[in-house]
Amino acid sequence: MTGPEPGAPDAAGGPDAAGGPDAARGPAGPGAPDRSRPARLTAWVEGRVQGVGFRWWTRARALEFGLTGVAENLADGRVKVVAEGPQPRCEELLAVLESGEAPGRVRRVITRWGPATGGLRGFVER
């Protein structure tokens, strides 16, 4: 088994973990990105999320929300989800990822928010 992807928050939520206690809620407050602009949500989903249809389910939800991106298995057992589109729609995807409705069992979701970079077409599973 290899370590986390370079630059990815660590699974223990240590000093490399993105955000703070409110990271799952998205950016807010002074200096937060403009919610009317396209956003990029990167979410590292921990738990029993591989081999249970989680990526397929995530893709279906993301397409319902009109998002582009990718859901991919990582070697450490997590699933990395990258989604771009209107920030409120990305927040909706994050909410369903955390809702308990997803296949398998989501233990924790670590997030990173940023501006959309473009270049993504559709929503794919890897």
CATH of the domain at 56: 3.30.70.100
Residue 50 within any structural domain of the chain: yes
Residue 94 within any structural domain of the chain: yes
Residue 61 within any structural domain of the chain: yes
Residue 22 within any structural domain of the chain: no
Residue 26 within any structural domain of the chain: no
pLDDT at res. 43: 98
Write the pLDDT tens digit of every residue in 97-125. Answer: 999 999 999 999 999 999 999 988 999 99
The burial of 78, by beta-carbon neighbours within 10 Å (0-12 exposed, 13-18 middle, 19 or more buried), is given as buried
**The residue to which tokens 């990258």 are assigned:** 82
Q: Can you tell me the mean pLDDT for 59-75?
A: 97
Residue 74 within any structural domain of the chain: yes
Q: Which of 88, 78, 54, 58 is nearest to 70 (CA)?
A: 58
Give me the domain span that covers residue 105.
36-120
C-alpha–C-alpha distance, residues 105 and 120, integer Å: 28
CA distances (Å), origin 125, targets 24, 28, 102, 116, 122: 22, 30, 15, 19, 10
**Whether residue 4 has pLDDT greater than 70:** no
Reduce the DSSP state of residue 65 to 3 states and report it: coil
Question: Alpha helix (H) ranges present in 1-126?
Answer: 54-64, 87-98
Write the pLDDT tens digit of every residue in 17-61. Answer: 444 334 444 445 455 556 678 999 999 999 999 999 999 999 999
pLDDT at res. 119: 86
Selected catalytic residue, list 55, 59, 78, 89: 55
Catalytic site includes residue 55 = yes
pTM: 0.75
Catalytic site includes residue 73 = yes
Residue 13 within any structural domain of the chain: no
Q: How many domains would you assign to the chain? A: 1
What's the distance, CA 117 to chain centroid? 15
Residue 6 within any structural domain of the chain: no
